[in-house]
Amino acid sequence: MFLSSLLSFPQKKRNILLLNPMERNFFQFSLPSLALPVIFILFAALASSAEQEGMTSIKTDVAALLKFKDLIDKDPNGVLSNWKLENNPCSWYGVSCQSKRVIALDLSGCSLTGNVYFDPLSSMDMLLALNLSTNSFTINSTTLLQLPYNLQQLELSLAKVVGSVPENLFSKCPNLVFVDLSFNNLTSYLPENLLLNANKLQDLDISYNNLTGLISGLRIDENSCNSLLRVDLSANRIIGSIPSSISNCTNLQTLGLADNLLSGEIPRSLGELSSLQRVDISHNQLTGWLPSDWRNACNSLQELKLCYNNISGVIPASFSACSWLQIMDLSNNNISGPLPDSIFKNLISLQSLLLSNNIISGPLPSSISHCKKLQLVDLSSNRISGLVPPGICPGAESLQELKMPDNLIIGGIPPELSLCSQLKTIDFSLNYLNGSIPAELGRLQNLEQLIAWFNSLEGKIPPELGKCRSLKDVILNNNRLSGEIPTELFNCSNLEWISLTSNELTGEVPKEFGLLSRLAVLQLGNNSLSGQIPGELANCSTLVWLDLNSNKLTGEIPPRLGRQLGAKSLNGILSGNTLVFVRNVGNSCKGVGGLLEFAGIRPERLQQEPTLKTCDFTRLYSGPVLSLFTKYQTLEYLDLSYNELRGRIPEEFGDMVALQVLELSHNQLSGEIPESFGRLKNLGVFDASHNRLQGHIPDSFSNLSFLVQIDLSYNELTGRIPSRGQLSTLPASQYANNPGLCGVPLPECPSDDQQQTSPNGDASKGRTKPEVGSWVNSIVLGVLISIACVCILIVWAIAMRARRKEAEEVKMLNSLQAIHAPTTWKIDKEKEPLSINVATFQRQLRKLKFSQLIEATNGFSAESLIGSGGFGEVFKATLKDGSSVAIKKLIRLSCQGDREFMAEMETLGKIKHGNLVPLLGYCKIGEERLLVYEFMEFGSLEEMLHGRAKMQDRRILTWDERKKIARGAAKGLCFLHHNCIPHIIHRDMKSSNVLLDHDLEARVSDFGMARLISALDTHLSVSTLAGTPGYVPPEYYQSFRCTAKGDVYSFGVVLLELLTGKRPTDKEDFGDTNLVGWVKMKVNDGKQMEVIDPELLSVTKTSDESEAEEVKEMVRYLEITLRCVEEFPSKRPNMLQVVTMLRELMPGSTNGSSNSA
């Protein structure tokens, strides 16, 4: 007891017992003369003192913990309820003790809230471990300097730590061994002296924060990182090149730098770290070749992840020494050359080989069979040629996924693949395979995906595939497969996606499809299938996509399809797929389009495929799972076109409330269009052309607000086209060849009022007064004839006058066409009104004749031309009352754009916001479209910044004016993203689309050209690259999905223009890069001020103090801008956050402001 108490003394107390020599001699000489009771009393006193000291220390710990408890605002789980004085503190929740002292506090995952600081814990000198992870605290990073001196383990992951990382953290806590500050909101620069005095540090994790600054400035020497085993700085905004001094960390095992903005080459010294096990530098901007020598690192290297960079060159042969390597991920780079045959011979531990999206050529080496533990091979989107090496199985007996789509592979699918019994995925899409599908594949009991679309496979679908009970996806479209669909296939009850489109299949559509309870997508179009559509398809409760177009199907459409049985349960269905909808445009190919598994496919390769050149596939729609599947229990896509179907359209189809696309064209359907279709609120495309439909177009169609395409031509419809809703805004061609159909956009319907006269009078009166009756009838008849003649003359005169005016306008238009070659005006045969349509607009403009617009623009002369862009030319028009408007003449509108024009204008005309250019009206003349906008006095921001450089009297925007423009443009774009219903993506945000009114208030224009997010396009977007060079976000070059985060990137470029005064693309200034790349390069080099517009600095100088404040403000604007132009969309803020950040920089603003834009 005494010894334990003694050891528990603080050092200063233990020193009392360390007597000096004189005292020790005195003690030795005096000891024999002392009585034993005295000795006992002395030892008892010492023991009592030690025990009293221990009690004092635990009391100090208790007081500290109770003070810390007072900082907790909410404890929803009551974990601190036993933190009471009457309880033993060592029994408190989360508290661990040793020798009656608190050595650890663990409150992780308790959902605690409060504004926490660590000063109360600073007195706990024996506290070694602190874990407050996964709580809802607010912790300012400066309080980290109040942590106890002896602390060794600090875990604050997901604890809402804010602020910057203290540079002297390890000076205050030099004993720290483990530090986890991941998933917080740490900002500012990465301190260059952070690792100084971190002599004992082994594990440092600051991943998933918002750290900036140069990693190349981080001081790394042998003393500071000799103990370091793991460093993770992933998912920040750190820039610069990886310092070669990383080699000083000789014991480093794990290096995580993924998802940053690192540039430059991978230092050769990285390959010298002999203890290195895991390296992840993926998702950066690294360039150069891979280091050629990895022999030292290969002694222990297990994971190498360098994907999503710009690394070039060949794979070095030195990798063959990495016998411990388990994961090699070099995908999405520019690596070229063949795969060295020698590499695979020694990679005996390799489990995952990821080399997709590179330029690797040559054959796949047969030596890959030496990789016995290989589980995943992904060589998608390369130039690999030759045969699939048959020896890959059973060599790689653990192989689970073999992905080689979008390559140049020839030959057949090797039957030997059946020897890899663990195989789950086989993907050979978009290659040049031929021959038949091996029946041996039926041995693969674990096979889930068999994907080989766009090859030249032939023969029958092997019935043996029915033995693959785990099979989920059979995607074999666009081959030469023949014969019938084997019924054995329906033994695979887990099937979710069957795509056999564009083959040579015959026979009937098997009714056994109804047995597949998980089937979501069935595509059998463009074959030679015959017979009737089986009603059993309605038993597929999860079916959302059914395509049977272009076959020889007969009979009636089963009404049961409109009443799918059971509730849709799509949990997990198609969750691992990457879907793209290839939509046909025009009549060059039949059907609406097709759904493809697009993982690992380059879109440009699909466009280059010779077999596709006959089809106008100008629209690709993509998404992780395309997000087609809703909570409803009905089909969403149904294509039965180009068959021989008869009978009526089932009334039950009106119950398919989730239906978005309904294609029934080119059949022999009759009867009326069901009135129940008015319930299809999500319907976007409806094509029933080339049938024998009769009756009226239901008035309920007026309720279909998402309907953007309808084609009812070549039927026998009669009556008036409903005037409400979308129908009257669509082109007349969509209703052509229905002789009994009338109303806008077709000729008006004849009047129902007709004069009724009875030739016989009263018989008795006729007999008594024949002369009077004859005389009266003659007078009445004469008067009526005279009135009729006068009316005819008046109508004829009015019509002739109107024709003369119209002829004059057409003549004037034709003369304009001859004078102005770039302006292509067209007049078609449709008689459409030549006046401004303002009926649907809240802010009305009086009706103007087209001739008045010509007069107001001086014949659309060059002098009136004030701008041109991707959507058309803009002219200034001065009306007779002296007011000015801007008239945009649209060009390059696709057929689809024409169909949507009127509907979009009705919506866009109602959008009003102080930072949007108001649309006053529109004019529809044949195929041409004119938009009338409010005129902006100061033109565009582009003109203000760049267009008047040669004018001596040009105006230079001050910093305050530029801030005002930035805020205004942000609020306008924010309104489109967050306040409009449906939301609007601009798709072409740029400085020329930011107009300035007389007060230099920014107004965003051309948002009317954006595609509205509608029922059809909610999760789909156009494949043609949206935007203007220099403003286009990087992801648009890899994906076809236009997003709000893409607009944020483009807005960031506009902010850079305001800050730098430079255009987004300028070879003289930027060389091969652009404005964004140039700014990032300067920032990486620590030369932020070099990007600021010199003219901006020249007009902001007032006093030294105010100039310094403005410069600081410019730098903060630059930081916001860099967040907007992050390479990865997930790291960019949304426009609501951008508006908030810009508002917070306003004088007198508060950080808590969050008012709506």
Strands 521-523 and 101-106 turn out to be unpaired
Angle (CA) 635 636 639, round 5°: 85
- Are 215 and 262 in contact by the 8 Å Cβ rule? The answer is yes
Q: Which of 547, 639, 988, 1006 is catalytic?
A: 988
In whole angstroms, give the CA distance from residue 257 to residue 236: 9
In whole angstroms, give the CA distance from residue 1011 to residue 1032: 16
Tokens coding 927: 């195929």
In whole angstroms, give the CA distance from residue 556 to residue 509: 14
Name 161's bridge partners.
139
Cis peptide before 191, with omega less than 30 degrees from 0? no
- Are 902 and 924 in contact by the 8 Å Cβ rule? The answer is yes
CA 754 to chain centre: 60
Give all strands (DSSP E) within 785-899, no chain letters.
Answer: 865-869, 872-878, 884-890
In whole angstroms, give the CA distance from residue 470 to residue 841: 57
Strands 919-925 and 928-934 turn out to be antiparallel
Compute and round to an integer the Cα radius of gyration of the chain: 39
Tokens coding 1122: 């860099």
Of 296, 295, 319, nearest to 306 by C-alpha is 319
Of 257, 249, 252, 251, nearest to 206 by C-alpha is 257
719 φ, ψ (degrees, to nearest 5): 90, -175
In whole angstroms, give the CA distance from residue 849 to residue 154: 76
Tokens coding 555: 């009979």
Name 582's bridge partners.
594, 620
Tell me which amino acid residue 1127 is. Answer: E
In order, the DSSP letters of 1049-1089 are HHHHHHHHHHHH---S--HHHHTTS-HHHHHHHHHHTT-GG
Q: What is the largest CA-CA distance in the chain?
A: 173
Contacts of 321 (CB under 8 A, 6+ apart): 294, 295, 298, 346
Is 100 a known ligand-binding residue?
A: no
292 φ, ψ (degrees, to nearest 5): -75, -25
Contacts of 787 (CB under 8 A, 6+ apart): none
Tokens coding 1017: 């396009």
Contacts of 983 (CB under 8 A, 6+ apart): 976, 977, 1013, 1044
Query: How many other β-carbons are positioned within 10 Å of the β-carbon of residue 416?
Result: 17
Contacts of 855 (CB under 8 A, 6+ apart): none
Q: Give the torsion through C-alpha atoms of 1070, 1075, 1076, 1078, to 10 deg.
A: 30
- Are 461 and 488 in contact by the 8 Å Cβ rule? The answer is no
- Angstrom distances, CA of residue 1127 to CA of 309, 360, 1058, 1137: 11, 25, 20, 18
Name 662's bridge partners.
638, 686
In the residue annotation, 988 being an active-site residue is answered as yes
Of 939, 967, 964, nearest to 954 by C-alpha is 939
In order, the DSSP letters of 112-176 are -EEEE-SGGGTT-TT--EEE--SSEEEEEGGGGGGS-TT--EEE-TTS-EEEEPPTTHHHH-TT-
Query: How many other β-carbons are positioned within 10 Å of the β-carbon of residue 588?
Result: 11
Q: Binding site: which residues?
A: 889
The residues annotated with a catalytic role in the active site are 988
Q: Binding site for ATP: which residues?
A: 889
